[in-house]
Structure 1
Amino acid sequence: MKKIDERDTMFARMNYMEGTFPYEDYYSRNADKLEIDNEIRKKPNLCGPGTMSYNAINSPIATACFKFLGDIKDLSEGEVNNIKTPIDKELATEKLKGLATYYGAKLVGTLKMKDYHYYSHRGRHEEVYGEKVDNLMPYGIVFAVEMDKDMINRAPQISEIVETSKGYVNTSIIGMVLSYYIRELGYNARNHMDANYLIVAPLVGRDAGLGQIGRNGILTTKEYGSRIRLGVVTTDLELMEDSPIDFGLEEFCRLCNNCAITCPGKSIPKGEKENIDGALRWQINQESCYDRWRSLGTDCGICINSCPFSQGIHMSEIKSFNGNKNAIIDCLKDYRNKYNIRPYIKDSPEWLK
C-alpha cells in the first residue's frame, strides 16, 4: 500500500500561502490543484464570519479548542527518563489500555506499526514542510472517544463542530498522559494529535481492531459508528498485538449508501470500491468535501450522523450481517422508517442558544 503524503491533504494545502516556499514548491509539482485550492481559500474560514453557521458568541468555542491544540502540539514529544523500568509486554499493554479507558477512551487497541501507517512526508506546518517522516516507532496504541449523539445529530450546525473539537481535545489529553507516562518508564513515545500527526489514524485504528473503514472514508465502529475521534501514541515499548476485525461493514456500506446520498458536497462515491494506490477502497473527493466545510463554517458531520451504526444498530442485527443481504435490507428498512435518511435535531442545546 502506497504511503500517504501529508502535503496532499486539504489541511496542509490550505496552509500554503502565496509567496512562501511550501506554496511555490507544492504547486510547481501539483499545478492541477492550484485553481481549486485558490478558489477554496477565497471562502471564509471554519467558524468564521460569512459562513452559514457563524455565531459571534458560539463559533469561537471551537476556534478556541483548535488554538489550544495548536499551543500544546509541541508537547507531543519529550525527554525520556534515563532510568528504564523493566516491564513485559502483557503488563505494559494492560496498563496502557486501562489508563486510556480511565481517562475517557471507549475503545483501545495496540499493534505493531506498519510502514504505511506513517505519512511519507510532513506538510501541515511551514517549519516542517517536506520533512521525511522517519521517526517510525515499532508499536502503537490507538484509542477512540465517543462523540455525543445529540450534538452530532445537529450537524451541520455549530453544535457539531463544538462536539468534534471537544473530541480532538479529549483524544489529545489522553495521548499526552499516555506518552508522558511511557517516557517516565524510560521508553520513547510520541502523541499524534490534531495538527501534529505523523500517522494516518484511521488506518491504525482499523489494523488494531477498533473498526473498519466505511464508504465515507472514516473509521466506523460497531459500537459507535463513525461517531468517534481517534488518538494514537507510538512507542518503542513492546506491546501486545490486537487483530483487525470484520463485522460486515463492507457489505453493509455497499447496500446502504446513506452517507453518499446525504453528503451536501456529493463527495462520497456511490459505486463499488476501486483500486487506489494499491488498496481497494472507497475514496471521497476531499476538495469538494472541504469546500463545503468552508461554506458551512463547520466540519459538516452529516456523513457521520447518517450512518446507521452511529445511531446504535442492535448487536443482534450486527451479528447476522456478514454475508446476509436480507438482514441488512431489513435493518435499513427499520432505520429509514425511524429516521427517513438521517436524524436531525434542529434546536441547539439550551446552553448553546
Structure 2
Amino acid sequence: MASRDEAVVREIIGHLNQATRVVTQHKQVVIKFTDEVSRYLANVSSGSLTGAHIRHSGSAYENLEVSSDADFDLILELGQPFAGSNLEVTGVRVGSFVHYKLKARELPKDPSQAIFFRRDGFLKSEELRMDAFTRFHDILRRVNLPNVSLQHFRKLSAMQVNLQSRGQKLELDVTPQIVAPAWNDCPGLVPMSSLPQCLQRYIINNERNRSPVFYFTPAIPEKERVLDWQVSLMLGFSLLEKHFLQNEVNIHDMVRLAKLVKDRLDWSKKYGFKSFHLKRLAIKHANTLRPLSTWNGFKTIIQLLLSYLTNNGVEDCFVQQHVIYSPQALKVNFLGELQQISLMGPDSVKSLALRH
C-alpha cells in the first residue's frame, strides 16, 4: 500500500511540475524587470535606496508552485548605513510578538540618510519604509519593458507590482529589507545548534563571507503595534527557508503537497494561513520529517497543524517562544478541515491537484 501511495504522490508532483515549466517562462519576464530596476538602482547616490539591490525569494524560487499563476517575492535589500554591520539590535517581547529596534553604531554623515535616525541613534523604520516606497515608485514610473505593461501599489510591507505580458498577469511583491547582523548578535533567536544542519552550515558560511542570512522588515502589523511602532521592525527569514527547501528535497515535496491543499482549499483567504507557516513548521520538525516517505511526511505536517491549533498555535522555528499563527476566532472551522484532510488518501489529494 505504501508503494502505491508514493506512486500517486509522484503523479501529483509530475502534474505540479507542469506548472513549474510555465512559471519558469514567467521568470524570464521577471528577470527583465529586475534587470531594468537594477539599472536605475545602480545610479542612486543619496537617500534610502543608496546601494540597494534586488534579491529573489519566495515560492516561485523554491519550486513550491502549485499553479502556473504563482506570485513572485523580491527583496529590495537596502545598502549602508541601513545594514547589520552598522546596527545594534534590541528586542522587546509584547505578548507572543517580539518587536525589534535598530540603533546606529555611527550616525550617517550624509544628511539624506541621517534623517532616518533619531538623535538617540534609533532607526525610524516607518519613515525609512515610506521613503523607500516613494523612491521605488519613482523608479517604477521610468521602467519601460517592451510588450509589458506595469502597475503598482503599496501594501503594508511591500510594493505590489503587476506585470501584464502576452495576456498573462504576473504579481510581484517587492519588500524593502535590512540585512541583519550575525545570528548571535540578534536577541531572542533560537540557538543555532537547534536548527537543521544545512541551515547551521549556511549561516556560518554566509556570516564568514559577510553575506546576508536574515533580514529586518521595517513594518509592523496594526494589531501588533505598540507606542514605539514607528521604530519597530519584524524579522524575515526567506533566505533560510529557501536554502532549507533546496537542500531537504524530500521535505520540500511534503511541503509542496501541503501547499497544494492550502491553496486549493483557500486557507490563506479563509483562515489567514500562509505558505511561510508551512515552511517554518517543516524546519522546526525536520528531524521528524526527514526519515518519512513523502506521503507520510505530508500527513505528519497535517497532524502537527492539528496538534498546534488544538493548543496555543504554530510556534516559530527561528524566534524563541514566538507564536506565528493562532487564529482563535477561526479555529473550529480550520480544525474541522484539517481533520478531514488527515483522513484523505493520496487519490483525494490528486483530485485537488487536477482541479486547477
User: TM-score scaled by structure 2?
Assistant: 0.27
Q: Which has the higher strand share?
A: 2
Structure having greater relative contact order (Cα 8 Å, sep ≥ 6): 1
Q: Whose helix fraction is larger, Structure 1's or Structure 2's?
A: 2
With normalisation by structure 1, the TM-score equals 0.27
